[in-house]
Amino acid sequence: MSTTAIATNIQEVLDQLGIKKMNEGASTGAQWINTKGEQIDSYSPVDGELIGSVKSATLEDYETIIATSQKAYKTWRTVPSPKRGEIVRQLGIKLREYKEPLGKLVSYEMGKSYQEGLGEVQEMIDICDFAVGLSRQLNGSTLHSERPVHRMYDQYHPLGTVGIISAFNFPVAVWAWNTALAWICGDVCVWKPSEKTPLTAIACQNITNEVFKENDVPEGVSNVLIGGADLGIAMANDKRVPLVSATGSTRMGKSVGEAVGKRLGKSLLELGGNNAVILTPSADLKIVLPGVVFGAVGTTGQRCTSTRRVIVHESIYDQVKDVLVKAYNQLKIGNPLDESNHVGPLIDADSVNTYLAAIEKVKAEGGKVLVEGKKLTGEGYESGCYVSPSIAEVENSYEIVQHETFAPLLYLIKYSGDVNNAIEIQNGVKQGLSSSIFTNNIRESEQFLSASGSDCGIANVNIGTSGAEIGGAFGGEKETGGGRESGSDAWKVYMRRQTNTINYSTELPLAQGIKFDF
Ligand code: NAD
């Protein structure tokens, strides 16, 4: 399909996904609630057009949604997990049917490439498949009791209402990572998506509603609340929400973590990164280039796993610098629905200003800007959200380098000596999400993966920092928040663990040999 055809059939996409010009901002599954909050207008960063509007949810709507979810939980927790899995299986099938329109809307509302939009929907499908298998494997352990004629085991029960707060940059996949697992675990979900991408959230809810209605799933198992931070703050403070899974900035995560912690609830925090790639003298530069460039400019540097820093050994530094600068000068920037473009827009004008200010800070701190990013104007750039990517030579200690700038600003940092010096630089930031090393030296790669190596939640060898497979547990350490979601045993956070001891004797022996006769 040609670019114009993709761009002009957005109305068809909206119709397919049940999105109107003006939409309600809350749903319990069975119905959309007549919300009366402030109007949110969703403009596409691709061409600046108004896509649609939403009447956001108020705190009164929040109460309705939470109450409905609490009621639904009483039924949902009694449905056998494989039966809940069957419904998630059907959701995965429905998502396959809607993959193209949903992928396109993700691209048009958020600004990532159409291929990445489709990739996000594919992640949703994959996590549904993963959750279906898992629905028969929510296993605890059988344990040996120290008391005779006793049996011990542990088992997992659902938690109740799970609150999900998500960011604009993965507007649909993060929701699916959480809900697919939470639902098979027997939880009910209340989603507060980013107010910057409300329409993709409405589309997800409409798709889910179709499947849930066909299966008579109770109203209140899948809920969405569209609006600003006030709804997320309400969730964080609400003891009826035992788990809050929050994805977004470290600033937001600190606020949510503190509020949830105060009431001794559970939080799963997926926050900002400051991801680095280490290039050692033996790095295969042929694979480095696509890994680093995609990692830094893909999704216009708006992935939590985007490559922010490249730590290069002095022996190959000039060569790497030349190759990167050359590659950056060839990047094509424009409509992300056109596959020939490498870089699309940033999410909004604020983000453009933050990016330009960060470049100025680099200069003010003494950094050397090798490729200076600019705001692009003229034909094709009418939305005002397009910028060209930057590369700068810096020191890791600069204040600006210590921060996550959510834009395509790549820092080059030189190291000398052995790999431990590079690892020290890589770990010398507050965040700890994704990291990688390119090397053909097994001593270096093993050192990087050892306990004295990378301190991040993700550590890759000969792969960039950006992106991850759903099969692994995803998340990071330090100011990235410590949460894990998606694959491996991340499901355990959506459940409470219970240890059971059963006495089938005629005596009552106490543990630790304690005697209590009377
Ligand atoms: P953001 O923090 O501005 O907003 C994220 C969500 O939190 C939104 O839904 C927002 O309404 C809500 N929110 C804001 N303040 C809140 C508060 N005090 N209490 C409760 N909710 C609140 O983030 P963003 O700009 O949408 O997303 C970009 C950030 O997200 C980056 O820092 C990126 O690294 C991070 N991110 C992390 C991951 C991860 O898995 N680690 C994934 C995606 C994005």
The DSSP code sequence of 309-374 is EEEEETTTHHHHHHHHHHHHHT--BS-TTSTT-SB---SSHHHHHHHHHHHHHHHHTT-EEEE---
From 252, 302, 303, the mutation candidate for ligand 1 (largest count of ligand atoms within 8 A of CB) is: 252
Q: What is the mean pLDDT of the chain?
A: 96
Residue 315 structure tokens:
């022996």
CA dihedral 167, 169, 175, 176 (to 10 degrees): -160
Burial of 341 (0-12, 13-18, 19+ CB in 10 A): middle
Residue 257 CA to ligand 1 center (angstroms) comes to: 13
The amino acid occupying position 311 is I
Q: Whose CA is nearest to atom 18 of ligand 1?
A: 252
Atom of ligand 1 nearest to the CA of 194: 9
pLDDT tier at 1 (50, 70, 90 boundaries)?
very low
Is residue 87 pLDDT above 60, yes or no? yes
Residue 175 CA to ligand 1 center (angstroms) comes to: 13
Atom of ligand 1 nearest to the CA of 228: 11
Is residue 322 pLDDT above 50, yes or no? yes
Please tell me the predicted confidence (pLDDT) of residue 9: 86
Domain limits, CATH 3.40.309.10, in the chain? 275-470
Q: pLDDT per residue over 95-115, tens digit each?
A: 999 999 999 999 999 999 999
Number of Cβ within 10 Å of residue 231's Cβ equals 27
Please tell me the predicted confidence (pLDDT) of residue 2: 44
Residue 395 CA to ligand 1 center (angstroms) comes to: 27
From 110, 165, 225, 458, the mutation candidate for ligand 1 (largest count of ligand atoms within 8 A of CB) is: 165
Q: pLDDT per residue over 161-204, tens digit each?
A: 999 999 999 999 999 999 999 999 999 999 999 999 999 999 99
Place of tokens 């790669």: 445
Q: For domain 3-271+481-497, give its CATH number from 2.40.37.10, 3.40.605.10, 3.40.1160.10, 3.40.640.10.
A: 3.40.605.10
Please tell me the predicted confidence (pLDDT) of residue 467: 79
Spell out which residues line ligand 1, taking CB within 6 angstroms: 165-170, 192, 194-195, 228-229, 232-233, 236, 247-249, 252, 255-256, 270-273, 304, 404, 406, 433, 476, 480
Residue 252 CA to ligand 1 center (angstroms) comes to: 6
Question: Which segments of 377-515 are extended strands (E)?
Answer: 390-393, 409-415, 431-432, 434-438, 458-461, 473-474, 477-478, 485-486, 495-503
What is the end-to-end Cα distance of the chain in Å, rounded?
A: 85
Domain limits, CATH 3.40.605.10, in the chain? 3-271+481-497
Which one is predicted more confidently, 518 or 275? 275
Atom of ligand 1 nearest to the CA of 192: 9
Q: Whose CA is nearest to atom 35 of ligand 1?
A: 248
Do residues 40 and 26 touch, judged by C-beta distance below 8 A?
no
Residue 269 CA to ligand 1 center (angstroms) comes to: 10
Residue 229 CA to ligand 1 center (angstroms) comes to: 10
How confident is the model over 444-450, as a mean pLDDT? 98
Residue 370 CA to ligand 1 center (angstroms) comes to: 30
Q: Distance between CA atoms of 372 and 275, rounded to whole angstroms?
A: 21
Fold annotation for 275-470: Aldehyde Dehydrogenase; Chain A, domain 2 (3.40.309)
From 40, 62, 169, 303, the mutation candidate for ligand 1 (largest count of ligand atoms within 8 A of CB) is: 169
- pTM (two decimals): 0.97
Return the DSSP state at 210.
H
3-state secondary structure of 46: coil
Residue 425 structure tokens:
């630089």
Q: Give alpha helix (H) positions in 419-505.
A: 419-427, 442-449
The CA-based diameter of the chain, rounded to the nearest angstrom, is 91
Positive or negative torsion for Cα 244, 246, 252, 258 = positive
Atom of ligand 1 nearest to the CA of 270: 41
Closest listed residue to residue 273, CA positions, set 398, 457, 493: 457
Residue 130 structure tokens:
């993963």
Q: pLDDT per residue over 378-436, tens digit each?
A: 999 999 999 999 999 999 999 999 999 999 999 999 999 999 999 999 999 999 999 99
Q: Whose CA is nearest to atom 28 of ligand 1?
A: 248
**Catalytically active residues, by annotation:** 270, 304
Atom of ligand 1 nearest to the CA of 433: 41
Atom of ligand 1 nearest to the CA of 255: 18
From 247, 405, 435, 484, the mutation candidate for ligand 1 (largest count of ligand atoms within 8 A of CB) is: 247
Residue 137 CA to ligand 1 center (angstroms) comes to: 32
